[in-house]
């Protein structure tokens, strides 16, 4: 059989890279000063750790209470690993529901003062799994403009009408709810009001009492994502609903197991009927393997720690107040933060990355954040203090911020 030479068109097609647009995007990141490579942590995630081969004080961890290395969590995880194995083997609806998963959900329901809890693989999958269930095609979702990306993606997965109100603007929220109910057929529509409990980039707390009052007047469902309030706000870290004493008035709470709890996963807390429907319909729950038993065991131990060691949360808030006062005294802009999340707002994304890099050279790991996570002119270095930071470490961080801030003419 005689071989024929490839045509000129075939040769051209063979030489074309269909993914060349990715290289162009990377070059665009670099041109704008936004290109970042992943920092690599060696060893334990503590207030001091080894990042990219050097010891630094970290201000970029969500490990608010230091629970990821707490002896009680280590022991619980090790015991579950030996007794129950490394993995669960299946999704929850087939053979992946272990007794320890249901024990964790019962403990969380009791901890949150709700009828029932369902755990998910992450807080992100909670929002993408639950919001589409609650908001059918005829529903209306009213959402704060600064809600987390997982809420935004959860909303995108619905066919519901969307109304986004300016951040923390209660009059805009009430106006949107009045408009929905006053429109033809509005009285019968399901309305879902969604807010973060603590906003992850700015560190401010949702005006939850006003949100709940507005929603009750409009007969709307209140949905609170408490990722950064879990373990931080409320009695023993029960979250923003407990912080404002709104039990029984917030229908849906999303919590995290991977920040202050120190392990992995998320959960939805609410009525038992919600849990039952989610088991049958929530796609991330239906199509993802359940948590390894060691994860569930460590989460159970974390609840024990929250209930028996309140001094960890007290120390977190002492450190928060001290560090915020230090940044303010140096003249940095920290926005409306009320929590351990304290942004240092500097303007452009390139400037935020320079501040972050300069801090790293001074022995402080605090990640820069720019567009599209935050508006370009509100780019920042986001800091999070923890209960583990010593006063000496916080002083060293403040000294580094002063040195680099002055060098970059930020202060």
CA 302 to CA 306: how far, in whole Å?
Answer: 6
- The strand pair at 341-347 and 379-384 is best described as antiparallel
pLDDT at res. 11: 60
CA 298 to CA 254: how far, in whole Å?
Answer: 19
At 79, give phi and psi (nearest 5°).
Answer: -65, -40
Provide CB contacts within 8 A for 181, sequence distance 6+: 187, 191, 218, 219
pLDDT at res. 19: 94
CA 124 to CA 154: how far, in whole Å?
Answer: 9
Q: Are 132 and 153 in contact (CB under 8 A)?
A: no
- The strand pair at 116-120 and 140-144 is best described as unpaired
Tokens 């693989």 sit on residue: 121
CA 40 to CA 57: how far, in whole Å?
Answer: 14
- Tens of pLDDT along 83-100? 999 999 999 999 999 999
CA 255 to chain centre: 9
- Tens of pLDDT along 114-143? 999 999 999 999 999 999 999 999 999 999
pLDDT at res. 205: 98
Closest Cα to residue 268, out of 231, 230, 297? 230
Which residue pairs, CB below 8 angstroms and at least 24 apart, start in 233-238?
233/197, 233/198, 233/205, 233/339, 236/111, 236/306, 236/307, 236/310, 236/313, 237/65, 237/306, 237/313, 238/111, 238/112, 238/113
User: Is residue 200 flagged as an active site residue?
Assistant: yes
Tokens 């009059």 sit on residue: 171
Closest Cα to residue 290, out of 127, 67, 105? 105
Catalytic residue among 60, 122, 200, 230: 200
pLDDT at res. 9: 61
Nearest 5°: the CA angle 369, 373, 379 is: 40
At 266, give phi and psi (nearest 5°).
Answer: -145, 170
User: Is residue 243 flagged as an active site residue?
Assistant: no
Q: What share of the chain is helix, strand, coil (3-state, %, to 5)?
A: 45, 15, 40
Number of other residues whose CB lies within 10 A of the CB of residue 75: 13
Provide CB contacts within 8 A for 22, sequence distance 6+: none
| Packed helices 293-308 and 311-330: angle between N→C axes, nearest 10 degrees | 80
Kindly give the parts of the chain with pLDDT less than 70. 1-15
Catalytic residue among 228, 243, 291, 324: 228
User: Is residue 324 flagged as an active site residue?
Assistant: no
pLDDT at res. 166: 98
CA 39 to CA 364: how far, in whole Å?
Answer: 13
pLDDT at res. 44: 93
Catalytic residue among 112, 148, 259, 354: 259
pLDDT at res. 312: 98
DSSP secondary structure code for residue 166 in this structure: P
At 247, give phi and psi (nearest 5°).
Answer: -60, 135
pLDDT at res. 97: 98
Q: Which two tokens stand for residue 124?
A: 């992100």
Provide CB contacts within 8 A for 223, sequence distance 6+: 130, 131, 134, 192, 193, 194, 195, 250, 251, 252, 254
Closest Cα to residue 40, out of 51, 32, 27? 51
């Amino acid at each position: 059989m005689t071989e024929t030479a490839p045509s000129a068109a075939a040769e051209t097609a063979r030489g074309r890279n269909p993914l060349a647009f990715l290289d162009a995007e990377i070059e665009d990141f670099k041109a704008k000063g936004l290109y970042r490579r992943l920092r690599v942590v060696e060893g334990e995630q503590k207030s001091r750790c080894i990042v990219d081969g050097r010891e630094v004080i970290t201000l970029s961890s969500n490990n608010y209470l230091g629970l990821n290395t707490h002896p009680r969590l280590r022991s619980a995880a090790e015991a579950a690993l030996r007794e129950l194995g490394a993995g669960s083997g299946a999704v929850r609806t087939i053979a992946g529901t272990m007794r320890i998963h249901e024990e964790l959900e019962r403990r969380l329901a009791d901890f949150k003062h709700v009828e029932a809890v369902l755990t998910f693989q992450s807080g992100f999958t909670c929002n993408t799994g639950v919001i589409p269930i609650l908001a059918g095609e005829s529903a209306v979702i009213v959402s704060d403009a600064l809600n987390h990306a997982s809420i935004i993606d959860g909303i995108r997965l619905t066919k519901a009408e969307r109304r986004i109100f300016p951040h923390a603007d209660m009059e805009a929220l009430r106006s949107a709810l009045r408009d929905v109910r006053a429109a033809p057929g509005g009285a019968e529509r399901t309305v879902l009001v969604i807010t973060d409990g603590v906003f992850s980039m700015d560190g401010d707390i949702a005006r939850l009492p006003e949100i709940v009052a507005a929603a009750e007047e409009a007969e709307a469902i209140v949905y609170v994502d408490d990722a950064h309030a879990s373990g931080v706000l409320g009695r023993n870290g029960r979250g923003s609903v407990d912080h404002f004493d709104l039990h029984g008035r917030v229908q849906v709470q999303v919590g995290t197991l991977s920040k202050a709890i120190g392990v992995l996963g998320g959960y939805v807390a609410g009525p038992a009927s919600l849990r039952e429907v989610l088991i049958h319909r929530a796609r991330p729950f239906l199509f993802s393997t359940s948590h390894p038993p060691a994860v569930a065991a460590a989460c159970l131990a974390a609840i024990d720690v929250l209930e028996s060691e309140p001094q960890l949360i007290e120390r977190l808030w002492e450190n928060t107040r001290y560090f915020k006062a230090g940044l303010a005294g140096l003249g940095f802009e920290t926005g409306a933060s009320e929590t351990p999340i304290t942004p240092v707002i500097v303007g452009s994304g390139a400037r935020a990355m320079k501040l972050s890099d300069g801090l790293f050279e001074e022995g402080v790991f605090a990640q820069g954040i720019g567009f599209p996570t935050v508006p370009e002119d509100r780019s920042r270095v986001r800091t999070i203090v923890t209960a583990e930071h010593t006063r000496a470490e916080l002083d060293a961080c403040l000294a580094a911020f002063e040195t680099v801030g002055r060098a970059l003419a930020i202060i």
